Amino acid sequence: MGPSRLAILVHEVRSPVAALSAIRETLETRHDEPEDRSELVRLALAACVAIERIVRDASVAALDLHPVDLAGLLRDTAKAAELRGGRVRSRAAQNLPEVMIDPVRIRQALDNLVGNALAHTSGDGEVVLDAHVEGRDVVLSVTDSGPGIPEEEHARIFEPGVRLGSAYPGSGLGLAVVKAIADAHGGRVTVRSAAGEGATISLALPLEPAQPATTARSS
């Protein structure tokens, strides 16, 4: 039996809630320029929108497609993770086209990938987000400098509830959600890793996706 929608919901709201908490702490303890405070407020509003959407549409297959600036999406993901104490850097190919995706769902996927990468990266390691075009796909990748994933586990890590060891936190749902979001977009998830060499998990999304079978309900 797979995880319940409630279990997935509880898992998925953790990232935006943690982002809001980190933003609040930053605003209380730092005296940034107005432009910096405005950026934090923008990130906070995005986290609130994500929480509302995740709660309203619990199924990760429910999509609301929009043309999205992926470079900006990666920057926001990295910034939110940095506010929570992670060492995260984003980079994107020049002239990256806008892509028709569900920005909340893809942000969910990226948050899960970054959280997983940080959990497997030592304190002085860095997580890197990347976006580039390969053929008819745009590829979003998250790379860590952790212990790596044995090849025989590459497919199994996307199964609900699977964890590669009790030493790492988590419920084993994050990567399963990533795969479900990729599938809903007509995309795919791949792993490039070997034991002791870190890991890169990539989300390939079609530049011209077919109309999804399931769309988000309008409020």
Q: In this structure, how many other beta carbons lie within 10 angstroms of the beta carbon of residue 114?
A: 26
pTM: 0.81
Query: For residue 162, what pLDDT is reported?
Result: 61
- The b-or-e profile of 157-186 (16+ CB within 10 A means b, else e) is bbebeeeeeeeeeeebbbbbbbbbbbebbb
- Ranking 52-56, 82-86, 120-124, 170-174 by mean pLDDT, the lowest is 170-174
Q: What is the pLDDT of residue 35?
A: 65
pLDDT band at 5 (very low <50, low <70, confident <90, very high): low
- Which tens digit of pLDDT belongs to each residue from 137-195? 999 999 998 888 888 888 788 886 566 554 445 556 788 889 999 999 999 999 998 77
If you average pLDDT over each of 41-50, 85-94, 133-142, which comes out highest?
Answer: 133-142
Average pLDDT over residues 121-140: 91
The amino acid occupying position 51 is: I
